[in-house]
Amino acid sequence: MNEGNEGSGSRPDRRRVLHGVAGLAALAAAGATGGQASAATAGDPLFGLMRDNEHDDFGQTFDQASRTIRMPKPTAPTLSPQTAELTQQAVKVYDDIVARGGWPQVPKIDELHLGMRHPSVVELRQRLAVSGDLDPNAVANDIYDSYVEAAVRRFQERHGLTTDGILREATLDAMNVPATTRRDQLKLNISRLETLTTNLGPRYVVVNIPAARVEAIEHDLAVSRHTAVVGRPSRPSPDVNSKIEEINFNPYWTVPVSIVRKDLIPIMEKQPDYLTQNHIRIFDARHNELQPSQINWYSQDAVHYTFRQDPGDFNSLGHIRIYFPSPDGVYMHDTPEKDLFGGDYRWDSSGCCRVQNVRQLVYWLLDETKGWPPAAIDQAIESGNQVNATLAKPVPLHWVYVTAWSASNGVVQFRGDIYNRDGLGVPAVPQSTKT
């Protein structure tokens, strides 16, 4: 990705925060521009973020004020030494929004999209203008035009939703969270960020669980981002502070006892051929292989055996496992179910983290390890054989729970409180949006 960054050593600037949150109104008041819009360029801090979620050209329009935001390459990360202070400055902006009465609620509607005319568009325009996503002069009609669509896209990107410019349930729910709640969400996350953003080092990996997103960070720049699938609320992913030590190509998967108990036994009661179909072998304590017919699946006897899935395209870990020490027994890995990355709802694992385009992340992780250029990595994967690569220098890894922050590009972002750890009533993405 080649989006840009404000420079890791620069002093946090409240004007940049204003641009990202309520800067449209502030700049309009200062005489920046009226209701005229121009095509978004790479100078818009959300342009690069939107390109993360889109593979076609971004041709929507934003107000002239957006072009004044300059952002060199590439994108600023979620966690950096400046994140806590910038988030504190964003709180001041949201204090101002709250003091002015917050934003209006947008009435419930099944769907709004480009070209529609509906009374709810009036409230939608007002809502987007207050948060700085729409020019404050463009709030006078009920047409869902390209200005509104562009503003909805901007809002969706700031809230980690599919950036398609269509107002559906997930976007509407996020839009109707009160300004006071969003302000409190920022405040609550400052203490987390102050703890997380010290002594980060030059190279590290961050998994933000509420965002279901992985970032590879080098010298305070996010050099690559990856969509993730993390633990469902009933089996949450833990906070992790560890170091990535090894990459396992074409690994076996040993089924954890918790999954044997909660998932495998009930499945085998209904589908006796499940293990055979999924290339999962059973071993006793002496490493003797057993047949499924030798196990009493109507008892808990199965938890005393080892269940191991052979390597292959069908393997639950895919072709790559990223290993790091963890008392919770979790890891990061590939997956044969690539469609899981396509929906807004990506909290569907048993605690581990599945990584989209994991090969790109592995290229970066092994970049400083002799003998592992990209061609060697590709060859190891294509061989189908079990191969392990030990990192020359372990890379710090942080799985974090951050639901609101402002990075050095000045864009304030929010995510749903998927595990209800904030306790503010912020809705998680509804599971009905899962594709």
Any domain includes 128:
yes
Say whether both 175 and 272 belong to one domain: no
Sign (positive or negative) of CA dihedral 126, 132, 136, 142: negative
Any domain includes 70:
yes
* Contact predicate 215/78, CB 8 Å: yes
Say whether both 65 and 151 belong to one domain: yes
Residues acting as catalytic residues? 333, 352
Percentage above 70 pLDDT, the chain:
82
6 pLDDT band (50/70/90 cuts)?
very low
As a whole number of angstroms, the distance between CA 356 and CA 332 comes to 10
Any domain includes 78:
yes
Say whether both 38 and 151 belong to one domain: yes
Q: What are phi and psi of 305, to 5 degrees?
A: -115, 165
- Please give the mean pLDDT across all residues of the chain: 84
Query: What's the confidence (pLDDT) of residue 69?
Result: 24
CA dist list (Å): 156 to 7, 46, 171, 263, 265 = 26, 10, 7, 35, 40
* Contact predicate 260/313, CB 8 Å: no
* Contact predicate 211/78, CB 8 Å: yes
Q: Give the domain CATH number at 80.
A: 1.10.101.10
48 pLDDT band (50/70/90 cuts)?
low
Say whether both 23 and 123 belong to one domain: yes
Distance linking the first and last C-alpha atoms of the chain = 26
Give me the half-sphere count of Cα atoms (radius 13 Å) on the Cβ side of residue 315: 24
Any domain includes 102:
yes
For residue range 81-90, what is the model confidence (pLDDT) as tens digits?
889 999 999 9
Say whether both 182 and 271 belong to one domain: no
Comparing 17-26, 108-117, 304-313, the range with the smallest average pLDDT is: 17-26
Say whether both 34 and 164 belong to one domain: yes
Percentage above 90 pLDDT, the chain:
71
Any domain includes 97:
yes
Any domain includes 365:
no
Cα-only R_g, the chain: 24
Comparing 115-124, 195-204, 286-295, the range with the smallest average pLDDT is: 195-204
CA 163 to chain centre: 13
Would the pLDDT of 159 be above 90?
yes
Any domain includes 248:
no
Quote the domain boundaries for residue 133: 14-186+405-433
* Contact predicate 355/337, CB 8 Å: no
As a whole number of angstroms, the distance between CA 343 and CA 432 comes to 10
Query: What's the confidence (pLDDT) of residue 12?
Result: 37
Would the pLDDT of 28 be above 50?
no
Give pTM, 2 decimals.
0.81
Any domain includes 141:
yes
Say whether both 294 and 413 belong to one domain: no
The tally of domains found in the chain comes to 2
For residue range 319-338, what is the model confidence (pLDDT) as tens digits?
999 999 999 999 999 999 89
